[in-house]
């Protein structure tokens, strides 16, 4: 039996690890230790509960207003004590957060093999997204096993000099989580669902939070305000917990009759809301995967993306962050929604729902079991 240490700290990590942990718990080849950094504590706990994940170790590093340097330092200091006590055969990090980079560095410094899930995503622009593009490129230099969601991700790694024998294409475990959530018998609990039942307006699920777009938030919010003046549309906006972001949305949109500002939904409710809406408008990496997987028109509030598969096929569209482009792009989609919906589109860019099994099989081969 091999001991694995999974390191997580944000809601997206918990969601994308959820299916992997469910399978690992039933696999007698592994002993599992889940380490939570608590990077995004409130949102993280919500996702952990839905996937029945109880961390074995809590670093509890969260406090308001921390810098990226403070977050990373606290995580590394915590893991410096925890990892020698656990003695894992490998540590697993996911994606591109501060938890990912700090966890990988802590493992590397203690000469523990690092396994990188969701490896190889590249926008080609170091500051977009920031700091995620830098984080994932740095992790690639010290990881021993790279689990790439798509062939394009694997090609990125090969281009950077990673050996082909150290790369496995698995699909994205986030698709596993989404398919599980949509297929689960669930009665949405948020009161918004009662309001949407008989609403004839076209529903747009919107969000924006990326650090590199903070200076663009006023334009994004003004575009939504302008579009909300149409009588045929309703924007639903789960407010980000970050007060920098929240303030901009509330200040401009709180009195719009065609905008609903709500608190963040739990993951199951959020998946069912995505299934119900007509359009997804977001700069979220999760939305870039989930929208096309659900076959929803997805408009991406970014100029570049590390997930080009859907945009290249037309399943998602980059519309940038300028007010004018957002207004014209969303208006065009609203006016042509029937045509879009009637056009067959690929929905399997990021996986088939079985990535978790491939991830675990790849780890087992890597560890020789």
Q: Please identify every residue annotated as catalytic.
A: 96, 118, 132, 209, 211, 240
CA distance linking residue 75 with residue 69, whole number of Å: 10
- Angle between helices 98-109 and 132-142 in degrees, nearest 10: 20
Q: Backbone phi, then psi, for 145, in 5-degree steps?
A: -135, 130
Both tokens assigned to 15 = 């969601």
CA distance linking residue 123 with residue 126, whole number of Å: 8
CA distance linking residue 276 with residue 46, whole number of Å: 22
Closest CA to 91 of 74, 106, 71, 69: 106
CA distance linking residue 131 with residue 139, whole number of Å: 12
């Amino acid at each position: 039996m091999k001991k694995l240490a999974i390191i997580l700290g944000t809601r997206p990590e918990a969601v994308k690890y959820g299916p992997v942990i469910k399978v690992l718990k039933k696999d007698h080849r592994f002993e599992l230790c889940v380490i939570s950094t608590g990077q995004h504590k409130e949102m993280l706990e919500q996702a952990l509960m839905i996937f029945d994940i109880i961390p074995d170790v809590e670093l509890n590093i969260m406090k308001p207003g921390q810098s990226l340097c403070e977050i990373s330092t606290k995580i590394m200091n915590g893991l410096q004590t925890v990892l020698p006590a656990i003695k894992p055969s490998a540590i697993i990090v996911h994606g591109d957060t501060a938890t990912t980079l700090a966890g990988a560095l802590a493992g590397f410094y203690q000469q523990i093999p690092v396994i990188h899930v969701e490896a190889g995503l590249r926008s080609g622009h170091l500051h977009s997204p920031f700091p995620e593009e830098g984080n994932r490129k740095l992790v690639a230099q010290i990881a021993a096993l790279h689990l790439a969601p798509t062939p394009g991700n694997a090609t990125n790694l090969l281009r950077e000099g990673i050996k082909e024998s150290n790369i496995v294409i698995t699909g994205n475990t986030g698709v596993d989580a989404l398919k599980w959530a949509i297929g689960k018998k669930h009665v949405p609990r948020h009161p918004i669902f009662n309001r949407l039942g008989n609403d004839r307006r076209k529903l747009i699920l919107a969000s924006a939070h990326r650090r590199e777009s903070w200076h663009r938030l006023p334009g994004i919010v003004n575009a939504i305000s302008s579009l909300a003046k149409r009588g045929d549309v309703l924007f639903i906006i789960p407010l980000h917990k970050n007060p920098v972001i929240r303030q901009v949305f509330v200040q401009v949109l709180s009195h719009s009759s065609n905008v609903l500002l709500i608190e963040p939904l739990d993951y199951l409710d959020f998946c069912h809301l995505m299934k119900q809406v007509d359009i997804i408008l977001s700069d979220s990496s999760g939305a870039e995967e989930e929208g096309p997987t659900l076959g929803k028109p997805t408009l991406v509030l970014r100029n570049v993306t590390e997930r080009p598969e859907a945009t290249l096929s037309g399943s998602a569209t980059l519309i940038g962050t300028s007010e004018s482009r957002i207004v014209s792009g969303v208006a065009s989609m609203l006016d042509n929604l029937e045509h879009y919906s009637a056009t067959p589109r690929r929905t399997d860019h990021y996986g088939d729902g079985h990535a978790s099994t491939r991830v675990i099989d790849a780890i087992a081969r890597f560890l020789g079991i």
